[in-house]
Amino acid sequence: MTQSSAQQAAVNGQTIAYDIAGNGPPLLLLHGYPQCRALWRPVFPLLTDAFTVIAPDLRGYGDSSMPDSVEAMSFRAMAEDMLALMDHLGFGRFHLAGHDRGARVSHRLALDAPDRPVAVSLLDIVPTHHLLSHCTQEVARAYYHWFFLAQPAPFPETLIGHDPQTYFERCLLGFGKAALSDFDPELLAEYRRAWAQPGAIRAGCNDYRAAIDVDFHHDAADLGRRVECPAQVLYGAEGAMARLMDVPATWADRLARMEAQAIPGGHFFPDQSPRETAEALRAFHLKHAGDG
| Average pLDDT for 206-224 | 98
Alpha helices in the chain (DSSP H): 75-88, 101-112, 128-133, 137-142, 145-149, 155-162, 164-174, 185-195, 200-210, 216-221, 240-244, 247-251, 269-272, 274-287
**Cα–Cα distance between 265 and 99 in angstroms, integer?**
14
Q: Which residue numbers are catalytic?
A: 100, 267
Residue 102 has pLDDT above 50, yes or no: yes
| Amino acid identity at 183 | F
* pLDDT recorded at residue 2: 47
Q: What is the identity of the amino acid at 234?
A: L
16-35, pLDDT tens digit by residue? 999 999 999 999 999 999 99
Residue 10: Cβ within 10 Å count: 11
Let me know: does 234 contact 124? Beta carbons within 8 Å: yes
Write down how long the chain is.
Answer: 292
Domain that holds residue 203: 5-291
Check whether 98 has a pLDDT greater than 90. Answer: yes
Confirm whether pTM is higher than 0.95.
yes
For the chain, where are the E strands, in sequence order?
5-11, 14-22, 26-30, 52-56, 94-99, 117-123, 227-236, 255-263
Domains held by the chain: number: 1
Residue 249 belongs to domain with CATH number: 3.40.50.1820
The stretch 199-205 carries a mean pLDDT of: 98
- Dump pLDDT digits (tens) for 112-170: 999 999 999 999 999 999 999 999 999 999 999 999 999 999 999 999 999 999 999 99
